[in-house]
Structure 1
Amino acid sequence: MKKKTVILGFVGTQLDSGKGSARWEKWRPTVAMAQHDDLVIERFELLYNGSYGPLIDQVREDIGTISPETTVLQHKLAIRDPWDFGDVYSSLFDFARSYPFDPDNEEYWIHITTGTHVVQICMFLMTEARYFPGCLLQTSPPRRHAAGSPGDYTLIDLDLSRYDQIAQRFAAAQQEGVAFLKSGIATRNPQFNLMIDEIEHVAVRSRAPMLLMGPTGAGKSFLARRVFELKKARHQLRGGFVEINCATLHGDGAGSTLFGHIKGAFTGAASDRPGLLRTANKGLLFLDEIGELGLDEQAMLLKAVEEKRFLPMGGDHEVESDFQLIAGTNRDLAAEVAAGRFREDLYSRINLWTYALPGLADRPEDIEPNLDYLLLQFGEEHGDAVRFNKEAREQFMTFATSSDARWSGNFRDLSASVTRMATLAEAGRITTAVAGAEIARLQRQWRTLSQPAAAGVPLEDAIGAEAAAQLDLFDRAQLQAVLDVCRQSKNMSDAGRKLFAVSRAGKAKPNDADRLRKYLARFGLEWDSVS
């Protein structure tokens, strides 16, 4: 059974108006729809706002004259300002929720010729979102030589799944985005490819924070920059890409670098400084190794992410910055939260879109395409193509994908390896001799890294035999333990957090690095000499 046609649309206060018999000489979009001989309209749902009762009555009477079988219903919407998007959309949304749509038996045409431009856009959005379960109806007046004609109408179906060509173009655009994120590298690892597919989907549809986890060298910084470039190409960001490794931030410099400071905020603050968060306004901020941030900086960052405003160091007035955040870490932040070293509320805020980038050793099938990419990149940078001969390629790939290849530095190790082989290649050919020498070099490098650390360097080597002899056994034992922790830590802040893990909890503003610096100074030591 053919469905009944129902038209929903606003009455045009100008286009649908007219008085006397002259009104029939004028093209009126709403009335004209009833004048099409080949179209049977079951019902008109006329929407309006304001005091247009007389116009509604005239339009309803004229439709009844032309098409007596058509029922005309009127609906007054509480729209205060027809040029306000929020006002119009919310009114249409309320109408759609209360209207008894029956798509099984009725076909709905949403008339968008009449009404303000804001009304027309909102009608489109409501239809595209399927709150109005129908298609758009666009009408146009008759041509000059067709006087008396009701004009033309066009139906626009917004169900894009029915348009194969459009769907194919969307799919192609999505694949282009994925390839862009991978720099065109034809990666083969199924789990990695699925992850990149989702990151592309999220990147172009969300401004929420993203968390990239993975070991050093797994490509977190590279991927963050590609996400930025993808969003920039889609006109979703106007600002720049700002990157900082939080492991390099210490003491007052951490807050100043991130949030800025005003002149005189602390010793050495000779002038105002905007800080990286403000520099990233309208752009993307990548905080690598976010787990290295102190708790104070974490609290300030949480406010900046949630409210888009924060206090510079020493400032009395908040500043604003609307940036998108991508955070990177090689730590297990959930474990850091449990240990009290990372704020749970900040972790919850940045843990919406979390992706674990696998190390190169966990993606052996991706070593070869990355190898080819790096060789091509080297050739473009140096103007000479470099290739393996067949035997050398097989030799290197057999080793690179074996259990003997640790790839502890991940892609940094592979990049360095390709650079060395390409540099040593004669006439652009990497031979078995070059490949064999590189394999031996990597084995030596990883064997050295895998050796256990020395139990401890004697104090005599650190502070001198004479100074060590003047220490009580208590001081010797304490200093030796502190030096061992320092040698096993990435930086002074990391060592300080380990050494003062308990007492720091009772301090309003713990500064672990400063406490450690002062302790070492008692013995004439500096961080660079003991780390």
Structure 2
Amino acid sequence: MNNIVIGILGSRLDHQGLGKRRHSRWRPSIGILMHPAFPVDEFVLIHHADEAELAGLTLRDMRELLPNIRLTAYVVDYANPWDFGEVYSQLHAFTRQQRFDPEQNNYYVHITTGTHVAQICLFLLTEANYIPGKLLQTSPSEEGVQGKLQVIDLDLSRYDQIASRFAREAQEGIAYLKSGIETRNAAFNSLIAQLEQVSIRSSAPILLTGPTGAGKSRLAKRIFELKKQRGQVSGKLVEVNCATLRGDNAMSALFGHVKGAFTGALTARTGLLREADKGLLFLDEIGELGLDEQAMLLRAIEDKVFTPFGSDRETSSDFQLIAGTNRDLFQRVRDGKFREDLLARINLWTYELPGLQHRLEDLEANIEYELQQFTRKVGHKVSFNKAAREQYLAFAHSPRATWRANFRDLNSSITRMATLANGGRITEEGVTGEIQRLRYDWGSFQQEMPPADEVLEGIDHFDRVQLAEVLRVCRASKSLAEAGRTLFNISRTQRASSNDSHRLRVYLQKFGLSFADLA
């Protein structure tokens, strides 16, 4: 096997004068040929057109050192040696012109000389296998003019520690986004796994959808903290619920105002967008923003500039947007209440967070999480006794538990039981009282439902046929989720996050019915 070295002429390191003194100094390209344990059969020297004299001198010295070596000069002529695109393009063209034969030759790419841009380009071309070889790094030493030589193999399959480290960091990021909760829901776990990658690799807007209490706000905070840990943001997290913004107050709160912009504006205001500079802006319930605010927000996202209320001067803010909503923004667009261009801009990365009823396999882990949070807050441990735990879990998984406010309901429920637990133990008596409280609260939202047969008699035959089959499936199912999986067996596989129970509940409510009454 022949050893072939590809290197770039070093305009400074390879140039150690034109006299005899140059032979007593370390020159990287020449030094490679002085290592007995590393025989070189061919050297391809890449140099700029302006460096022809130095290239000729270097090639003559190589020939003098190794009379039998094959030498090839390749000329590049980029106008700007620091223009990455131009340098990469010409070096890529070099690789396309070579006839590499890795079966007969060992190729080594010398990355000590040349500009940093050229070195990076050679690394990328070798890593992508345009040059089927290994990297060669040299450095000066006290041992002589030959210097030190190090071969770097880019076959990453040999570096299990590197691969395992990346995998470990990804798993740590995923666990952090889930607040350390060992979730089992496959759809939710898949969502968080992708969101971890997007959070680290992208600064584009992220849209979090899902019902109230599904955890959008908590997840936004976790994304911010993860980006902060990885050095992605240097600013702060700024949160606002857009449902609280109306009229002049909305413009002022988001974009700031100048003194005297409107009645009561006695001093200037910075605005939330400016406060989020170099950080993250979380706009919860973004669907509630007015159309004027939406237009200004779109420009701020795209151009990083906006005009404070009452001002004639632009200001800038470089922030990442996370938007949250429990509304169907596409329907809001159809209703003329949300700008289509803004939706298109924030819809690049969209994640629908499922409600608690669609993640019942994660219920136990979230109960433990809520107990741990309560323990940290009050300073002493609180837990269930065995019977009370089984009683609570049985109710929590039953059709009677609607978890209307999702994880907010669970948080409130655990907080009440833990607060009333004598000696830090939640008993059957405490669970019984809590179940009564939850059923009363949830029942207060439900309207009295008419008998199903009466509903069937009062609708068109077309709807009656469909509804009759839905009622049959509901009565044959043990839970709303099971009925939903049966009825939406095809469409549920085509959605990023299945919401079968919610879809079925909405359908039944259309006719004034509930699954509990049917079951």
Normalising by structure 1, what TM-score? 0.79
- Map of 1:52 onto structure 2: 51
Question: Which structure 2 residues correspond to residues 392-431 of structure 1 after superposition, within 5 A?
Answer: 392-431=388-427
Contact 1:304–1:310, Cα closer than 8 Å, also in 2: yes
**CA distances 1:332-357 after superposition (whole Å, capped 9, x unpaired):** 11222222221111111111111000
CA drift of 1:430 comes to 0.5
Contact 2:95–2:131, Cα closer than 8 Å, also in 1: no
CA drift of 1:452 comes to 6.7
The change in CA–CA distance for 1:353 and 1:424 in structure 2 (over 3 A counts) is same
State the alpha-carbon separation in 2 of the partners of residues 402 and 416 from structure 1: 19
- Map of 1:183 onto structure 2: 179
With 14-23 and 192-201 compared, the bigger mean Cα shift is at 14-23
With 411-420 and 97-106 compared, the bigger mean Cα shift is at 97-106
State the alpha-carbon separation in 2 of the partners of residues 444 and 103 from structure 1: 77
Please give the secondary structure, in 2, of the residue aligned with 1:23: helix
Q: Does 1:24 align with 2:20?
A: no
Question: Which structure 2 residues correspond to residues 352-367 of structure 1 after superposition, within 5 A?
Answer: 352-367=348-363
The change in CA–CA distance for 1:281 and 1:130 in structure 2 (over 3 A counts) is farther
Identity of aligned residues (%): 53
State the alpha-carbon separation in 1 of the partners of residues 130 and 405 from structure 2: 52
CA drift of 1:221 comes to 0.5
Q: Does 1:223 align with 2:219?
A: yes
Question: Which structure 2 residues correspond to residues 77-88 of structure 1 after superposition, within 5 A?
Answer: 77-82=76-81, 84=82, 87-88=83-84
**CA distances 1:310-338 after superposition (whole Å, capped 9, x unpaired):** 11112212111100011101011122222
Please give the secondary structure, in 1, of the residue aligned with 2:34: coil
**CA distances 1:449-507 after superposition (whole Å, capped 9, x unpaired):** 12379xxxxxxxxxxxxxxxxxxxxxxxxxxxxxxxxxxxxxxxxxxxxxxxxxxxxxx
Question: Which structure 2 residues correspond to residues 200-219 of structure 1 after superposition, within 5 A?
Answer: 200-219=196-215
- Map of 1:478 onto structure 2: none
CA drift of 1:152 comes to 2.6
Contact 2:87–2:121, Cα closer than 8 Å, also in 1: no
- Map of 1:494 onto structure 2: none
CA drift of 1:117 comes to 4.3
Q: Does 1:347 align with 2:343?
A: yes
Amino acid at match of 2:136: L
Q: Does 1:139 align with 2:138?
A: yes
State the alpha-carbon separation in 1 of the partners of residues 180 and 396 from structure 2: 21
State the alpha-carbon separation in 2 of the partners of residues 413 and 449 from structure 1: 14
Please give the secondary structure, in 2, of the residue aligned with 1:450: coil
- Map of 2:66 onto structure 1: 67
State the alpha-carbon separation in 2 of the partners of residues 333 and 94 from structure 1: 48
Q: Does 1:432 align with 2:428?
A: yes
Q: Which runs of 5+ in 1 are unaligned?
A: 454-531
Contact 1:388–1:430, Cα closer than 8 Å, also in 2: yes
State the alpha-carbon separation in 2 of the partners of residues 386 and 352 from structure 1: 43
State the alpha-carbon separation in 2 of the partners of residues 69 and 450 from structure 1: 93
- Map of 1:474 onto structure 2: none
Contact 2:360–2:397, Cα closer than 8 Å, also in 1: yes
State the alpha-carbon separation in 2 of the partners of residues 130 and 283 from structure 1: 38
Question: Which structure 2 residues correspond to residues 481-520 of structure 1 after superposition, within 5 A?
Answer: none
CA drift of 1:121 comes to 4.5
Aligned residues: CA RMSD: 2.2
The count of corresponding residues between Structure 1 and Structure 2 is: 445
State the alpha-carbon separation in 2 of the partners of residues 166 and 207 from structure 1: 25
The change in CA–CA distance for 1:344 and 1:112 in structure 2 (over 3 A counts) is same
CA drift of 1:371 comes to 0.2
Contact 1:218–1:357, Cα closer than 8 Å, also in 2: yes
CA drift of 1:380 comes to 1.4
- Map of 1:277 onto structure 2: 273
State the alpha-carbon separation in 1 of the partners of residues 155 and 234 from structure 2: 31
The change in CA–CA distance for 1:339 and 1:8 in structure 2 (over 3 A counts) is farther
With 8-17 and 343-352 compared, the bigger mean Cα shift is at 8-17
Contact 1:93–1:131, Cα closer than 8 Å, also in 2: no
- Map of 2:9 onto structure 1: 11
- Map of 1:33 onto structure 2: 32
